[in-house]
Structure 1
């Protein structure tokens, strides 16, 4: 898995392994959500925030809701590009637009939105995002801050 440094939404690349597929030899639908999670985690890391350190600061991100559309199947050994673009930013939440495409032919395989909430690690109640983090996310798109 590696980050892609091109213009446009933040993206990582990953490979489909046997463990990602179902009995039909295609990527099991829930695994697209795992690929999306990895892209969001790497986006945080790219911005300078490591989730294991955030927990020590009494901050966690939890998925509040997700929605996905599946357009075409990925198969064993496909290389995928998974993006994570911030489209909405609140005091204690971030909404990402995410797409999974096959690198070989650019086919859109899955797309969706994931709403992530910022909560306290000790009681899971909402908390405001640190200003530095909110500012970093706001740089992802115009009009977000």
Structure 2
């Protein structure tokens, strides 16, 4: 499954290519640390869209939001202005009300940043945890990847 703007599903992995722009960097042309979270968000959102959903239609149909609950970021190498990077996303955990992803920001096969992120499904009315909608769970269950690599 592939779309020029949304990336590619390769097995159970989503690959989102992009280029580092001036706005992503500090004065020295190095990617500013917080931008890696934005890159990861773009990758996850593109994966969700490629699978046939959007954050907006999930919210409208099911009255829930899927928001970041927890994340860890391992910065290994810096990216620079105009680098061509990819965000590789794998769903590695699925709970009753949560999704866990491993996301790697890569340059030419080298891991620059590894992000472990947990998203929680919550009611838009009470802002409390709510079970993932079956529609979402069913689609994502096909992409659950508990293997290392």
Displacement after TM superposition at 1:141 (Å)? 2.7
1:4-57: CA deviations, max 9, x gaps?
243451111111000000122100111101110111111111121111112223
Q: How many angstroms apart in 2 are the aligned matches of 1:30 and 1:85? A: 21
Displacement after TM superposition at 1:142 (Å)? 5.4
Aligned residue number for residue 34 of structure 1: 38
- TM superposition outliers: structure 1 runs of 4+ over 6 Å: none
Aligned residue number for residue 90 of structure 2: 85
Aligned residue number for residue 14 of structure 1: 18
Aligned residue number for residue 118 of structure 1: 121
Partner SS, residue 29 of structure 1: coil
Aligned partners of 1:2 and 1:14 also within 8 Å:
no
Unpaired stretches in structure 1, ≥5 consecutive residues: none
TM-score normalised over the length of structure 1: 0.90
TM-score normalised over the length of structure 2: 0.88
Aligned partners of 1:12 and 1:39 also within 8 Å:
yes
Aligned residue number for residue 66 of structure 1: 71
2:101 equivalent to 1:96: yes
Aligned residue pairs, count: 141
Aligned partners of 1:83 and 1:100 also within 8 Å:
yes
Q: How many angstroms apart in 2 are the aligned matches of 1:133 and 1:27? A: 33
Quote the RMSD (CA, aligned, Å): 1.5
